[in-house]
């Protein structure tokens, strides 16, 4: 286990190009900086943000909306900062995704409600992702609200960037998370209305 | 399967005393009304509202607070409509209950955070119960709020009466419900602070 100090010294001063150089990134990085940069690099391709599809599309941020409009025509879009995301037939068995687009402040947001089944229990996860970069998400906050008879459940957070995707947030319950019993408290005839409000926040 | 219409007619007009008559209830009820009345009867004894104890105490509503003060001395009480319920060591394994009292508007409320373990998953349930009757709960609303870094989770509802107890509400997730991942997002050093706000509502 002898460390090669000479090699380490060299590697500590050598600069490597970003792996997305061919997509236009001009960054030159120390090997210690490389992974973090590439994870956040604006030239890293964006994947299709639709959950529950097998769409393998990838491209630049500018190409995402055109891709959605052409290849995922069935997704409804609502205009405005305050809308209702209506998920129908939430009692359908198995894993299901509900998806809607919301446009406001000159940006597009994808609303996702995902139902998973695990250990015979159903779990719901609702989240908002910005069609934009991680940096752009900091300008926004979203609020998801379920309203029932003398009951209210609210989740407020920063939108996820589609560059990160919703899966790790869902895995960490870093979203509005509820179970079937809660869904029953707030749904009517198997339909669940989620009030979605997007707002701009002061970036410090 | 011949119905005894004569007997049914008699039973439909006979009035029975409430089963809590010896506790002071003077109601006389048709057999069709009996179960509903007894479920809501003010003379039905109250059980000890402390979760996770084996306390078998029961008595009248007026005797509940004296019982708690004498037999459950270790429960902290905070004054005010807006307090912080601090649950320490939420990572302790197994089923755990955290309990606190909050006094405001001339009433006493018991705050409960319960951790359950099922299928290897930990679930948290937070709820507020009023030391009072089901009817009295309608005067109040409570709000439980978890605050984290750019995240907030809020549950608002009517308090449960200790006459009903918290177990069926917890069973139905009719309370603030979250999992270990969410708890991690909002806790610091294993301690979780829940902002509790009690308010009075207009009874229509
Ligand atoms: Zn780069
Ligand atoms: Zn696609
Ligand atoms: Zn009675
Ligand atoms: Zn007791």
The answer to whether residues B78 and B178 belong to one domain is yes
Instruction: Give A47 Cα–ligand 2 centroid separation in angstroms.
Output: 8
Contact flag B157-A178 (C-beta cutoff 8 Å): no
Residues in B touching A157 (Cβ below 8 Å): 150-152
- The CATH number linked to A120 is 2.60.210.10
Contact flag B152-A151 (C-beta cutoff 8 Å): no
Q: Is the CB of residue A174 less than 8 Å away from at least one CB of chain B?
A: yes
Q: Is the CB of residue B121 less than 8 Å away from at least one CB of chain A?
A: yes
The answer to whether residues B36 and B83 belong to one domain is no
Q: Is the CB of residue B185 less than 8 Å away from at least one CB of chain A?
A: yes
**Nearest residue, CB atoms, B173 vs list A152, A157, A181:** A181
Using DSSP's 3-state secondary structure scheme, residue A13 falls into coil
Q: Where are the alpha helices (DSSP H) in chain B?
A: 5-11, 31-40, 61-71, 134-137, 167-171, 180-186
Distance from CA of B152 to the nearest CA of A (A): 5
The answer to whether residues B25 and B123 belong to one domain is no
Residue A110 forms part of a structural domain: yes
Q: What is the mean pLDDT of residues B119-130?
A: 93
The answer to whether residues A127 and A189 belong to one domain is yes
Mean pLDDT (chain B) is 92
pLDDT value at A69 more than 80: yes
Residue A60 forms part of a structural domain: no
User: By residue range, what is the domain housing residue A85?
Assistant: 74-200
pLDDT of residue A178: 96
The number of folded domains in chain B is 2
pLDDT value at A120 more than 90: no
**pLDDT single digits (tens) A1-41:** 567 777 777 667 889 999 999 988 999 999 899 999 998 88
CA atoms of B198 and B156, how far apart (whole Å): 10
Residues in A touching B157 (Cβ below 8 Å): 150-152
Distance from CA of A173 to the nearest CA of B (A): 6
The answer to whether residues B98 and B195 belong to one domain is yes
Q: What is the mean pLDDT of residues B89-105?
A: 94
Residue B59 forms part of a structural domain: no
pLDDT of residue A203: 66
Q: Provide, rounded to the nearest whole percent, the portion of chain B with pLDDT above 70.
A: 97
Give just the sign of the alpha carbon dihedral B68, B70, B71, B75. positive
Nearest CA-CA partner of A61 in A37, A43, A75, A35: A43
Residue A96 forms part of a structural domain: yes
pLDDT of residue B149: 92
The answer to whether residues B32 and B83 belong to one domain is no
The answer to whether residues B33 and B79 belong to one domain is no
The shares of helix, strand and coil residues in chain A, as percent rounded to the nearest 5, are 25, 40, 35
Q: What is the mean pLDDT of residues B15-30?
A: 92
Q: Is the CB of residue B152 less than 8 Å away from at least one CB of chain A?
A: yes
pLDDT of residue B1: 58
**A36-57: string of b/e by CB count within 10 Å (b at 16+)?**
ebbeebbbbebebbbbeeeeeb
Residue A97 forms part of a structural domain: yes
Instruction: Give B44 Cα–ligand 3 centroid separation in angstroms.
Output: 7
Distance from CA of B169 to the nearest CA of A (A): 10
Q: Is the CB of residue A21 less than 8 Å away from at least one CB of chain B?
A: no
Q: What is the mean pLDDT of residues B34-53?
A: 90
**pLDDT single digits (tens) B128-185:** 999 999 999 999 999 999 999 999 999 999 999 999 999 999 999 999 999 999 999 9
**Residues of chain A numbered 30-69 and touching chain B (CB < 8 Å):** none
Look up the ipTM and state it: 0.88
**pLDDT single digits (tens) A168-196:** 999 999 999 999 999 999 999 999 999 99
The answer to whether residues A184 and A84 belong to one domain is yes
pLDDT value at A87 more than 90: yes
The nearest alpha carbon in chain A to B147 belongs to A156
The answer to whether residues B98 and B152 belong to one domain is yes
Residue B54 forms part of a structural domain: no
Residue A49 forms part of a structural domain: no
- The CATH number linked to B16 is 3.30.40.10
The answer to whether residues B106 and B11 belong to one domain is no
The answer to whether residues A162 and A90 belong to one domain is yes
Nearest CA-CA partner of A154 in A140, A141, A143, A170: A143
pLDDT of residue A129: 97
Q: Provide, rounded to the nearest whole percent, the portion of chain A with pLDDT above 70.
A: 97
Confidence of residue B204 (pLDDT cuts 50, 70, 90): low
Instruction: Give B62 Cα–ligand 4 centroid separation in angstroms.
Output: 14
pLDDT of residue B203: 66
Residue B114 forms part of a structural domain: yes
**pLDDT single digits (tens) A146-160:** 999 999 999 999 999
- Ion ligand 1: protein residues whose beta carbon lies under 5 Å: A 18, 20, 25, 27, 41, 43
Residues 6 or more apart whose CB falls under 8 angstroms from that of A4 comprise none
The nearest alpha carbon in chain B to A147 belongs to B156
């Amino acid at each position: 286990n002898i460390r090669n100090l000479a090699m380490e010294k060299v590697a500590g001063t050598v600069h490597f190009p970003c792996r997305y150089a061919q997509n236009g990134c001009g960054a030159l990085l120390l090997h210690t900086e490389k992974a973090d940069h590439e994870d956040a690099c604006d030239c890293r391709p964006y994947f299709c943000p639709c959950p529950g599809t097998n769409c393998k599309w990838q491209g630049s941020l500018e190409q995402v909306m055109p891709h959605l409009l052409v290849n995922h025509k069935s997704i409804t879009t609502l205009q405005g900062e305050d809308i209702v995301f209506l998920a129908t037939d939430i009692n359908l068995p198995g894993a299901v995704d509900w998806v809607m687009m919301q446009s406001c402040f000159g940006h597009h947001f994808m609303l996702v409600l995902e139902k998973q089944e695990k250990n015979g229990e159903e779990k719901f996860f609702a989240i908002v992702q910005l069609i934009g970069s991680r940096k752009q998400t900091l300008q926004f906050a979203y609020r998801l609200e379920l309203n029932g008879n003398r009951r209210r459940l609210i989740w407020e957070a920063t939108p996820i960037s589609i560059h990160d995707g919703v899966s790790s947030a869902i895995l960490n319950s870093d979203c509005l998370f509820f179970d079937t019993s809660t869904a029953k408290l707030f749904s009517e005839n198997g339909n669940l209305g989620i009030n979605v409000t997007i707002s701009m926040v002061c970036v410090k």
